[in-house]
Amino acid sequence: MNVTAHYRFPPASAYRLNRCLFAIKSDAAFRSRFRADPRAAAREMGLGEAESAALLDGNRDALVAHGAHPYLVFMADLRLRMEREAMTFEYF
Amino acid sequence: MLVGAFACAHTPQLLARPETEDRELVLRVHAAFARVKQRLEALRPDAIAVIAGDHIEAFFLNAVPALAVYVGAECAGTFGRYRYRFPIHEPLARALVEAGIERGFDLVYTQDAPLDYAFYVPLHFTMPAPSVPLVPLHINVYLPPQPTPKRCYEWGRALGEILDSRSERVVLMASGGMSHFPGTDRYASPAFDYDRRLLDLLSAGRGHELAAVTAEELDRAGNIELRTWITLLGAVGDAKADPYCYEPSWHHGNAVVEWPVGEASL
């Protein structure tokens, strides 16, 4: 798979970042901690400064440049917005 | 035996519609799901084997199986306000693992993995009454390197043969597709023309040609999830697809398709 692919091999250097995004997406308890104190939650996951800054800014391009998986960025952001903005849905 | 084969879109916006989504379009996809439900009630399957791409939910980077079978007693998952719990057809799930391994597929099996909306969105709308046990089949679609389309097709062919050697009536349901690019710059511009060409090809009974597409082509066309369909195609051979709907939303090509097989193809 070449470097222009939409979905690329997640580099080992981005493991902590991807683990943090996965936890925001799929672990409600971690998501609560992240919403309460994003810096502390990022520290808990062992993120570096640049990764933390990209995550706290919600800067997708910077996150992907750090090796974050685009789908994890997308779903982590969606889960946070669903809670923060109390998005309204029509449930079927 | 294989008694039915379907592919269903699983976009979560079909289950919980935010204001960004066209309500009429969503209802048209629901109408296609309702046809699938009617067909399932007529086909009276003993189990529904759902082939879905993992949305990095059942498996994370601690282990990324190309092909996996869920062999727990039941499966559970949540989406928004919904809590799902379905029994597993354990004898069939176990037989698929054992016979698959016997045929040279190095399958992963799990008895403990949360399942995601890829399984629940289509089943929310199509599960017949009384409800039918599941066999969840995972394909790695989001974490490169994914299994090749050729390998997916071969696994599907093996699945079809194994199912035909069994007494249970089984429906295969491929979940996912068509074109979409979540989390990327192309989210708002899916490859709808690619989808339409694909549906034409499937309607002409040329599904086997998809075994030859490349990983690069699927990524370029926003169709990494098509691996679930390609797996199903291995089982149904060149049965001609009957598309119930193709509804392109601003971010997703929503399709619902049946392949008449078994008694339905006579």
Residue A28: inside a domain: yes
* SS3 of residue B179 by DSSP: coil
- Interface pTM (ipTM) of the complex? 0.93
Residue A16: inside a domain: yes
Per-residue tens of pLDDT for chain A, all 92 residues: 456 899 999 999 999 999 999 999 999 999 999 999 999 999 999 999 999 999 999 999 999 999 999 999 999 999 998 888 777 889 99
The model's pLDDT over B154-205, given as tens digits with 9 standing for 90+, comes to 999 999 999 999 999 999 999 999 999 999 999 999 999 999 999 999 999 9
Hunting for tokens 């089982």 — which residue is that?
Answer: B235
Cα angle A42, B113, B135; round to 5: 150
Total structural domains in chain B? 1
Say if the Cβ atoms of A88 and B18 lie within 8 Å: yes
Instruction: List residues of chain A with CB under 8 Å from any CB of chain B.
Output: 1-2, 5-10, 15, 18-19, 22, 25-26, 60, 64, 69-75, 82, 87-92
pLDDT at B132 over 60: yes
Residue A31: inside a domain: yes
Phi, psi of B257 (to 5 degrees): -140, 145
Say if the Cβ atoms of B55 and A90 lie within 8 Å: no
Distance separating alpha carbons of residues B75 and B148, to the nearest angstrom: 27
Total structural domains in chain A? 1
Q: Identify the CATH number of the domain in which residue B187 sits.
A: 3.40.830.10
Distance separating alpha carbons of residues A15 and B72, to the nearest angstrom: 29
pLDDT band at B104, cuts 50/70/90?
very high
Query: Which structural domain, as residue segments, surrounds residue B142?
Result: 2-265
The model's pLDDT over B51-95, given as tens digits with 9 standing for 90+, comes to 999 999 999 999 999 999 999 999 998 887 899 999 999 999 999
Distance separating alpha carbons of residues B260 and B154, to the nearest angstrom: 20
Residue A6: inside a domain: no
Say if the Cβ atoms of B80 and A71 lie within 8 Å: no
Hunting for tokens 């599907």 — which residue is that?
Answer: B156
Q: Dihedral, CA atoms, B138, B142, B145, B148, nearest 10 degrees?
A: 60
Residue A17: inside a domain: yes
Question: What confidence score (pLDDT) does residue A1 get?
Answer: 47
Average pLDDT value for residue range B116-130: 95
Distance separating alpha carbons of residues B113 and B117, to the nearest angstrom: 13
Name the more confident of B47 and B116.
Answer: B47
Question: What confidence score (pLDDT) does residue A85 get?
Answer: 75
Query: Which structural domain, as residue segments, surrounds residue A38?
Result: 12-84
Closest CA to B97 of B127, B126, B70: B70
Q: Is the peptide bond before B130 cis (omega within 30 degrees of 0)?
A: yes
pLDDT band at B124, cuts 50/70/90?
very high
Chain B residues with CB-CB distance to A18 below 8 A: 61
Residue A39: inside a domain: yes
pLDDT at B206 over 50: yes
Residue A7: inside a domain: no
Nearest CA in chain A to B14: A92
